[in-house]
């Protein structure tokens, strides 16, 4: 398949970045309007938890399958279908007005979002050759991630203040349909030269494993001894074992398990899990925390989150000027450690702390998150065989969202644990402990990526992989 012309490549990048932005907008819409949404849907504490977490299940369960489909049937087509699915799910959730239907619709939105995210990086990998051009394009894609996180809570809070929390979901649906039409008319399609077909047994077992794991984490926040939690955890374990067995026997596995021995793939995966369990987990909890504990209203909380997300957007865009001598894995390691430093600066609050006390840590974490987002998109497709960019994107983003689900659960459990004194003081104490934990996760993740980077440079790997750490690929054949 021929490579796109320069104007076509720019259109591909615009559509891929905007699609990713819309997915992150959808992901963050409930953060600043949770109280209004839960009250309108008559949701109890468990319902509120599911409102926040349900989209993660659809995303994480479908990302790997969506990446494989995108590579095989066409990345633009997969992206357009995903956008339409997001629109349908968003409209359904606000039309019915029932908490169960809303949660299910959010899972559907997550499945559509998985198709968009997985195909977007594959489109970029096809449109831009390895080197500075792809680095710059990956920076724009990373900026789309940060921009979506910035826009979602602000949009939701503003429209809820003007009219209704419903309005943000209508805007999301309309924007998704418009972008799908633009993609179909203006962007060339691309696919792998050697389609492998969808490994149905692997896809089903993987989806069941991830969905059961995330559902267990969500239900576990209400009580870890409940039989439902144990049952879901058992299903996740059994489905995970089945997935490994299926992939080992499949002639066209969803993911080559030999990649797990690749330092490049392992580094990208560790980075994705770490940024999800660190930065994303803390920032997901931030709006609710400052509203309850620091008396900051919903719009103020969304604006405060902007200090982190907008900074990450700017940094991701500036990352294109990173010297070529600085590898992607070095950027990931430095970025994760920087996130840890920024999150550590968010500890030590008291009940009288204001927004200014949080600002320095948010800015540091924002800069570091931008560095990670810019490098992670490139490393996700560079760490898999040529022509499988969608699969690489799906695997990497699955790791990110599983990490964020685990991190959000840990933060929620630690930050809301009963403590001595007033409720407000207990919330602040819980936040201090939770951010210290996520800071530690980020720093450990950064050190792990650094160790994998050193291992590759020293040639210490003895696995049967290419010199770049990719199965069956010669040195320098990054794609």
pLDDT tens by residue, 138-160: 888 888 888 888 888 889 989 98
Least confident segment among 82-96, 175-189, 359-373, 446-460: 446-460
More confident residue, 405 or 161: 161
471: pLDDT strictly greater than 50: no
What residues have CB less than 8 Å from 162, skipping those under 6 apart? none
Rounded to an integer, what distance in angstroms lies between the CA atom of residue 276 and that of residue 169?
A: 24
pLDDT for the residue 97: 81
Question: What is the CATH number assigned to the segment(s) 6-198+254-458?
Answer: 1.20.1250.20
pLDDT for 287-296, tens place per residue? 888 888 888 8
pLDDT for 440-469, tens place per residue? 999 999 999 998 866 555 554 433 344 333
As given in the structure block, the two tokens for residue 164 are 């209704």
Closest alpha carbon to 372 in 437, 313, 284: 313
pLDDT for the residue 419: 53
Q: Is the dihedral of CA 148, 150, 153, 157 positive or negative?
A: negative
pLDDT for the residue 223: 77
As given in the structure block, the two tokens for residue 236 are 């996740």
pLDDT for the residue 470: 39
**Averaged over 82-100, what is the pLDDT?**
93
Residue with tokens 């087509």: 77
Which string of b and e fits 82-104 if b means at least 16 CB within 10 Å?
A: bbbbbbbbbbbbbeeeebeebbb
Q: Are 442 and 279 in contact (CB under 8 A)?
A: yes
pTM for this model (two decimals): 0.80
Q: Are 137 and 127 in contact (CB under 8 A)?
A: yes
Cα–Cα distance list, 283 to 136, 256, 329, 353 (Å): 26, 33, 24, 17
More confident residue, 408 or 74: 74
Closest alpha carbon to 57 in 185, 165, 216, 252: 216
As given in the structure block, the two tokens for residue 349 are 């609050």
3-state secondary structure of 465: coil
pLDDT for the residue 474: 36
pLDDT for 244-275, tens place per residue? 898 888 877 777 777 777 888 888 889 999 99
Rounded to an integer, what distance in angstroms lies between the CA atom of residue 218 and that of residue 237?
A: 16
Domains of the chain, by residue range, sit at 6-198+254-458, 199-253
pLDDT for the residue 464: 37
**Averaged over 224-242, what is the pLDDT?**
91
72-76, 175-179, 377-381: which has the highest mean pLDDT? 175-179
pLDDT for the residue 388: 62
Please provide the average confidence, as pLDDT, over all residues in the chain. Answer: 84
Residue with tokens 């990345």: 75
Closest alpha carbon to 257 in 202, 198, 329: 202
pLDDT for the residue 460: 44
- Confidence bin at 363 (pLDDT 50/70/90): very high
Closest alpha carbon to 438 in 204, 272, 277, 321: 277
Q: Are 448 and 278 in contact (CB under 8 A)?
A: no
4-8, 18-22, 284-288, 419-423: which has the highest mean pLDDT? 18-22
């Amino acid at each position: 398949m021929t490579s796109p012309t320069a104007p076509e490549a720019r259109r591909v990048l615009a559509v891929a970045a905007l699609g990713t932005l819309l997915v992150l907008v959808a992901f963050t819409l409930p953060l600043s309007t949770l109280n209004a949404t839960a009250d309108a849907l008559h949701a109890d504490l468990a319902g509120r938890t599911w409102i926040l977490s349900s989209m993660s299940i659809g995303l994480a369960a479908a990302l790997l399958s969506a990446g494989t489909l995108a590579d095989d049937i066409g990345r633009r087509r997969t992206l357009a279908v995903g956008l339409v699915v997001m629109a349908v799910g968003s409209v359904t959730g606000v039309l019915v007005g029932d908490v169960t239907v809303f949660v299910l619709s959010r899972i559907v939105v997550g499945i559509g979002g998985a198709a968009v995210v997985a195909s977007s990086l594959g489109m970029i990998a096809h449109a831009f050759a390895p080197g500075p051009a792809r680095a710059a394009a990956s920076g724009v894609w990373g900026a789309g991630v940060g921009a979506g996180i910035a826009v979602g809570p602000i949009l939701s809070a503003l429209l809820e203040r003007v009219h209704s929390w419903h309005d943000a979901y209508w805007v999301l649906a309309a924007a998704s349909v418009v972008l799908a039409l633009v993609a179909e008319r203006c962007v060339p399609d691309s696919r792998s030269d050697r389609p492998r077909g969808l490994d149905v047994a692997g896809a089903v077992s993987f989806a069941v494993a991830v969905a059961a794991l995330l559902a267990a984490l969500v239900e576990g926040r209400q009580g870890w001894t409940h039989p439902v939690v144990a049952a879901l955890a058992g299903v996740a374990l059994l489905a995970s074992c089945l997935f490994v067995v299926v992939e080992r026997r499949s002639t066209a596995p969803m993911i080559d398990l030999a990649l797990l021995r690749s330092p490049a793939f392992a580094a990208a995966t560790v980075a994705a899990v770490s940024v999800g369990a660190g930065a994303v987990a803390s920032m997901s909890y931030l709006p609710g925390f400052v509203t309850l504990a620091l008396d900051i209203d919903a719009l103020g909380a969304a604006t405060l989150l902007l200090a982190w997300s907008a900074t990450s957007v700017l940094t991701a865009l500036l990352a294109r000027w990173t010297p070529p001598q600085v590898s992607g894995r070095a950027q990931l390691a430095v970025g994760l450690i920087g996130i840890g430093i920024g999150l550590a600066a968010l500890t030590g609050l008291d009940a009288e702390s204001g927004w200014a006390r949080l600002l320095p840590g948010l800015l540091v974490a924002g800069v570091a998150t931008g560095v990670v987002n810019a490098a992670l998109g490139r490393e996700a497709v560079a760490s898999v065989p040529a022509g499988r960019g969608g699969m690489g994107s799906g695997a990497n983003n699955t790791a990110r969202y599983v990490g964020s689900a685990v991190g959000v659960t840990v933060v929620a459990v630690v930050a809301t644990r009963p403590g001595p004194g007033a409720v407000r003081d207990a919330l602040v104490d819980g936040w201090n402990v939770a951010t210290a934990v996520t800071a530690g996760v980020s720093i450990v993740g950064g050190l792990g990526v650094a160790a994998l980077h050193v291992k590759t440079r020293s040639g210490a790997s003895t696995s049967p992989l290419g010199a770049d750490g990719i199965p069956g690929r010669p040195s320098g054949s990054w794609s």
